[in-house]
Structure 1
């Protein structure tokens, strides 16, 4: 089945006003399937030591086709890295604009991810499937990394590995739901616990999705689709 057409609604002011006049919540949808590009999602890496030789970290990302075993006519955002610090965080981020400054929003992520790591598989430091934790987050501040001595630290509070933080929640791990190492598409959603966030003073919200790794090896993942629904919360 073909993926849905990518589309992004950025909530024009007139549309927002119309929704509010009718007593309805204003909704913005970001829907990226990476068929024509990265849709302004940017890949970054954090929580690793700069004294480690870069070639051993194998940090790479690109728009590419889905891997063999899935529909290779379809595209995805591929990202990979090798965890040498027992805590590599690799993530995609995207800025969305046009919100009411300082207003409160609920953020729901619905993600299709291609992975080939079985649950409880054995690896150095942990399982390639069960010890790589999947996280989603939102903030008025940009997700980034900052250098502290020789270590790149993530600038937001995402928590550590299996734990969430102020700016991120954990949606399980990257296990493929199979007994073997064949690729499968898994779905990740926080529909049962939408993320609450305030837009910043410029009416911007930063979104990010990523993996916090406790597995000391190579992780390769394909983001097949990222859909984010952002709903303004009306104050009565």
Structure 2
């Protein structure tokens, strides 16, 4: 066997080994849909957490679950439910997961498309703010894993999400959870940042952390169901 033949054989052996290695992540496109899920088979790696409240706030009734959509919506569809009592007037309820297989150290312009079920009227009134128009849908990404941390008896998140109606470096405001005028039942709504894509750089391993949630100015109970999340690179 000639030297050239040996090199070619070695190349194909290594290529085949890489293809069979489960630790080798597939390469995602530089543009187009990077991620999408309707949670039909599970939470798809999303983890729920809560921030922006004090240990002195008492029972916040913080809950999360993988469950069916609430009535009168299609009960054959699955979703991730987040619920919390905003005793701090600033509760952030969020989901996060990693996204791998990206180009390392590459700037991506991301557009999030979020479908969720909300029963709160846009023109509703409540303590501290409207249950519909004072609870803001947010989405973003970071090369740093979003984590809740306890600082001086206050739980806060380690990425820049802004506050309530204001976005931050890592997280943008996509709108509020108002489902329409005089709404009294759960209704599917869609929010996106198509008019203001988020630019974020992947880490050296080609990874980003996605984050989706709500930032509340309404001092009451909010219960939402996330039924679809889509992330597109422009």
Shorter-chain-normalised TM-score: which range?
0.7 to 0.9
Counterpart position of 2:122: 119
For 2:62 and 2:194, how far apart are their aligned partners in 1? Answer: 31
Q: Aligned ranges for residues 9-28 of structure 1 at < 5 Å?
A: 12-13=26-27, 25-28=30-33
Deviation at 1:149, TM superposition (A): 1.1
Q: Aligned ranges for residues 15-54 of structure 1 at < 5 Å?
A: 25-53=30-58
Unaligned runs of 5+ in 2: 1-23
Which of residues 87, 92, 96 in structure 2 aligns to 1:93? 96
Which of residues 206, 210, 216 in structure 2 aligns to 1:207? 210
Deviation at 1:26, TM superposition (A): 4.6
TM-score, normalised by the number of residues in structure 1 = 0.85
For 2:213 and 2:155, how far apart are their aligned partners in 1? Answer: 16
Deviation at 1:143, TM superposition (A): 1.1
Per the alignment, in what secondary structure is the counterpart of residue 169 of structure 2? coil
Which of residues 167, 176, 179 in structure 1 aligns to 2:179? 176
Equivalent residues, number: 211
Q: Aligned ranges for residues 52-131 of structure 1 at < 5 Å?
A: 52-53=57-58, 56-131=59-134
For 2:176 and 2:57, how far apart are their aligned partners in 1? Answer: 26
Which has the larger Rg?
A: 2
Which 4+ runs in 1 deviate beyond 3 A? 25-28
TM-score, normalised by the number of residues in structure 2 = 0.86
Deviation at 1:198, TM superposition (A): 0.2
Q: Deviations over 1:138-177 (max 9, x none)?
A: 1111111111110001111111100111111111100011
On the 8 A contact 2:123/2:182 being kept in 1, the answer is no
Deviation at 1:110, TM superposition (A): 0.9
Per the alignment, in what secondary structure is the counterpart of residue 57 of structure 1? coil
Unaligned runs of 5+ in 1: 1-9, 17-24, 232-236
Alignment root-mean-square deviation, CA: 1.6
Counterpart position of 2:21: none
